[in-house]
Structure 1
């Protein structure tokens, strides 16, 4: 049975942003899947382009290890998203507003208000998995 855009998106978000599980994240992609963040500078911590499930797994494992101490956890009650289907049944778009509670400066003192991060992701799927993901978010989030 084919998975819906909603199911694919929710699996991807749970594996990545919510649990930071690189193995589970890589499993949401096809074996030859491509994960791109075109706005990210080449020298950023976040990988700009990963090709293949194994590279996605290893690059995201390293990224999650480097950023484990940032203390930012999304507030699901305040965050939201809208999925848009397209004329191509294998393509959908996610508009996302992720809200992080307080401590927007990440120093652990709770000294700032909520931080909202808005982004757009374009998904191309094949056989219920992500074949290509283009993730458009502000590059200063990963510098």
Structure 2
């Protein structure tokens, strides 16, 4: 059985580190859902994506729109996360502080993600963060 630690580390590598929409989408069940409830409607980051194909397509478009043109990079050594398991073995929570280094200085983006798993894949991911650019 895949552990929450393994799933989370693969998720971070596919998403934040390599921005590989296809690899990210493959982590979801075919009918998986990716939600960002705090993202503004109509903003740059999608609020709700349903199904692996929509996740792949829309995250690829998001990565393209938000190509790292700010010069900011993730500082892996300073970034931190804590995983919390729950009474339900198919649910875990991640508290994340991502540190970004850039020309304007250091920025920390804090967020919470709730993962619901089915058969070793993500069935529902709720990503609670407030986008810096309003979307």
TM-score, with structure 1 as normaliser: 0.90
1:73: Cα distance to partner? 1.8
| Paired residue secondary structure (2:92) | strand
- Matched residues, number: 134
Segments of structure 2 that go 5 or more residues without pairing to the other structure are: none
The equivalences for 1:19-58 within 5 A come to: 19-58=18-57
**Match for residue 130 of structure 2?**
138
1:113: Cα distance to partner? 2.1
Q: Which range moves more in the overlay, 61-70 or 10-19?
A: 61-70
1:141: Cα distance to partner? 4.5
**Match for residue 106 of structure 1?**
none
**Match for residue 90 of structure 1?**
90
The question of 1:119 aligning with 2:119 is answered: no
Residue-by-residue CA offset, 1:58-106 (whole Å, 9 max, x unaligned): 00010011111243321100001000000111000000000001x3xxx
Q: Which range moves more in the overlay, 14-23 or 131-140?
A: 131-140
Q: How large is the Cα RMSD of the aligned pairs?
A: 1.1
| Paired residue secondary structure (1:138) | coil
Q: Which protein has the bigger strand share?
A: 2
Q: Structure 1 CA distance, aligned partners of 2:111 and 2:83?
A: 12
Segments of structure 1 that go 5 or more residues without pairing to the other structure are: 104-109
| Paired residue secondary structure (2:58) | helix
**Match for residue 67 of structure 1?**
66
Residue-by-residue CA offset, 1:7-27 (whole Å, 9 max, x unaligned): 000011000000000000001
